[in-house]
Homo-oligomer: A and B are copies of this chain.
Amino acid sequence: MKGANGVNGVYVIGVGMTAFGKHPDRLAADLAAEAILGALDDAGLRTVDIEAAWVGHVFQGMAMGQRGLGAAGISGLPITNVENACSSGSTAIYQAAMAIRAGAHDIVLACGVELLSTKFRGALAPDETDIETQIGLTMPAVYAMRARRHMEQYGTTPRMLAAIASKNKFNASLNPLAQFKKPVSVDEVLAGRMIADPLHLHECAPVSDGAAAVVMVSAGKLAELGRTRAVRLAASALRSGKMEVGLPDMTVEDLTWRTAEAAYQEAGLGPEAIQLAEVHDCFSIAEATRIEGLRLYPRGEYPARVERGEASLGGRLPVNTSGGLLGKGHPLGATGVAQVIEIVKQLRGEAGARQVPDAKVGLAHCRGGKARGVEGTACTVNILTV
């Protein structure tokens, strides 16, 4: 399989997102429009400059992208709606990059959007054809099993897992666009309601609404526009696979590693070059298995390292400086784009109180899909550099 890099570089020159949280009074199209117009403003471009768009979402219905761009006053373009479960927004970025690399377009938009709070009460509706769901193996149950296995195998403690959630809630408290504004201590996490033992309420991603968008350009267009705050998309990889729920070891994220390996190869660098990462922490344990799957920390050691502060702001390799899904919120389709936005802000030195000093290389990781033990999971890894 050939890499997707090709001769043309791809650069992010504008980012925009809504506040993540509950927006029951708004339409998904309006949220998308706010993010899109924010990204255009940040890029110093007008609506007519956009040549094509990709819009990621999961539950927003037919022609979401057309409605969202329409609400932003953008009309007539090639627009493609993409869905890859929780990787939908990052897949929009992947496809938008592909179009630039094809030479088809020079200025493109990738957007992610989801309005969940008015569609679901409490949790996402399980798929009725899903046998695992029918026997009670919902997402929290799947991740609780992984947590138990990680504890059994590596001596991970509930307190270490709670430290992941506490770190992300703290980071979120420094992010004006995050859903959660208040730091939560490890003790507070552990005192929270048990959702699926050993995972407490604060260790599970919330129901969120929001949208995020990025403007991406070709190397040629970047030179023409002369933007100085551009961040290079050094790799954008997508792979699919099964969710690891069975043998030999459900704590090993084979799919995450296969995707990361493709991205590292495309970017021409390895895990040792990554200075900060946004990863798909839909549950506290998920951040651990993903970071280990990306080989950013040694297998089995991540929760203990978090407890020692290594993944915190100021630590060796900060993870989810934005607050992650646990702190910033998780509007499914918007998540992958918002992760890339955090990396872009960090690499521009515009992350404010969350700034990682001298950040030059960051990674964003998403994965999601059905719990059932069949092929049904999508994973993306985007690597950005300045």
Interface residues of A (CB under 8 A from B): 1-4, 6, 27, 51-52, 58, 61-67, 69-71, 74-85, 91, 94-95, 98-99, 101-106, 127, 129, 237-242, 258, 369-370, 374-378
Residue picked from A58, A78, A106, A377, most chain B C-beta under 10 Å: A78
Are A376 and B76 closer than 8 Å at their CB atoms?
no
Are B66 and A376 closer than 8 Å at their CB atoms?
yes
Given contacts A75-B375, A79-B378, contact A104 B4 (CB under 8 A): yes
Given contacts A61-B127, A66-B240, contact A6 B102 (CB under 8 A): yes
Are A369 and B63 closer than 8 Å at their CB atoms?
yes
Residue picked from A4, A61, A83, A237, most chain B C-beta under 10 Å: A83
Residue picked from A4, A77, A82, A98, most chain B C-beta under 10 Å: A98
- Which of chain B's residues have a CB closer than 8 A to the CB of A83? 62-64, 81-83
Are B129 and A76 closer than 8 Å at their CB atoms?
no
Contact of A104 among B2, B61, B242, B375 (CB under 8 A): B2
Q: Which 6 A-B pairs have the closest CB atoms?
A: A70-B375, A102-B102, A101-B102, A4-B104, A78-B238, A81-B83
**In the complex the two chains form, what is the Cα distance from A47 to B382 in whole Å?**
27
Contact of A66 among B69, B104, B369 (CB under 8 A): B369
**In the complex the two chains form, what is the Cα distance from A2 to B8 in whole Å?**
15
Contact of A369 among B3, B62, B74, B94 (CB under 8 A): B62
Q: In this complex, what residue of B is CB-closest to A97?
A: B102
